[in-house]
Amino acid sequence: MMLEIVVISMAMVLFAVIFETLRRRRLSEGSAVLWIGVGLGAILLAVARPVFDWIARSAGVSYGPSLLFAVVAVFLVLLCFSLSMQIGRLEKRVKILARELALREKLDPEDDGEAGKRR
């Protein structure tokens, strides 16, 4: 019972942090949905632990936390892959923007490079 209380408390703290970072615009909506899902999954596991143990036994895993570890490992690998794809897209975007800026500076010599200094 104590484990469930601790996990639910931690999930509530996670929700508070998610909403605060969203409010400050430091976290994108897509990432927030992912982390809210993680928090809901933690609450679900804390409340329905016997159901998870039954699922583990049905899958042929004798120890439920082993299945949980495997699921979390797969989730983290997929998350790393997704973030790597996002980094690749952002790198391409930075290259395109740098080329456009260089062309603008080359085409407008009177600008004295102020276009790159504007914010």
In this prediction the pTM is 0.70
Average pLDDT of the segment spanning 90-115: 85
Spatial distance between the Cα atoms of 49 and 98, rounded to a whole number of angstroms:
52
Residue 88, CA distances (Å) to 27, 43, 94, 114 in order: 19, 33, 10, 28
Angle of CA points 62, 65, 69, to nearest 5°: 115
Percent residues over pLDDT 90 in the chain = 59
For residue 46, what pLDDT is reported?
85
Average pLDDT over residues 56-81: 93
39 lies in which domain range? 2-116
Which distant-in-sequence residues (6+ apart) come within 8 Å of 3 by Cβ? 46
Length of the chain equals 119
Q: What angle do CA 78, 60, 70 make, to 5 degrees?
A: 20
State the residue for tokens 């408390």.
Answer: 9
Number of domains present in the structure of the chain: 1
pLDDT in tens, 35-66: 999 889 888 988 888 898 999 999 999 998 89
